[in-house]
Amino acid sequence: MRGAELIGCRVVDPRGRDVGHVHDLVFRHEHPGDEDDAPRFELAGLECGKAGIGDRLGYTRDAMAGPWPLTALFRWLGRRSLFVPWTEVSTVDRPCIHIRCTREQLRPFVEVEDS
């Protein structure tokens, strides 16, 4: 499966409630065994929510510098993004992803990003 196949999928909790659509993938850097090995990245989770365009343009991240009204607007829209750990994904049945935990058990993405 390619990462692009996950972007835009609808995420649903065990109760059938909508978590949002996937608008970003979060990867964790795995250090190689020795210096000759290529760096590896493992899928850590999904960023889900209602917002999407501002996130894809980078406006919800601190590194993006742009017109302040756009930055403020997109950060406000993306404040409710949730982080779904990849270990909580039970099935991927495009265009829907089912997770094991409830929506209330998920952490806001900004908390994950800051830790």
- Edge to edge, what strands does the sheet with 96-99 contain? 89-93, 96-99, 10-12, 18-30, 40-49, 82-85, 107-108
Average pLDDT of the residues of the chain: 81
Q: What is the pTM of this model?
A: 0.74
In the chain, what are the domain boundaries? Answer: 3-52+67-108
Given 2.30.42.10, 3.40.50.920, 3.40.50.300, 2.30.30.240, which CATH number is that of 3-52+67-108? Answer: 2.30.30.240
Q: What pLDDT score was predicted for residue 53?
A: 59
Assign 77 a pLDDT band (cuts: 50, 70, 90): low
Assign 65 a pLDDT band (cuts: 50, 70, 90): low
What tens digit of pLDDT does each residue of 11-42 get? 999 999 999 999 889 998 887 666 667 778 89
Instruction: Look at 40 and 69; give whichever has higher pLDDT.
Output: 40
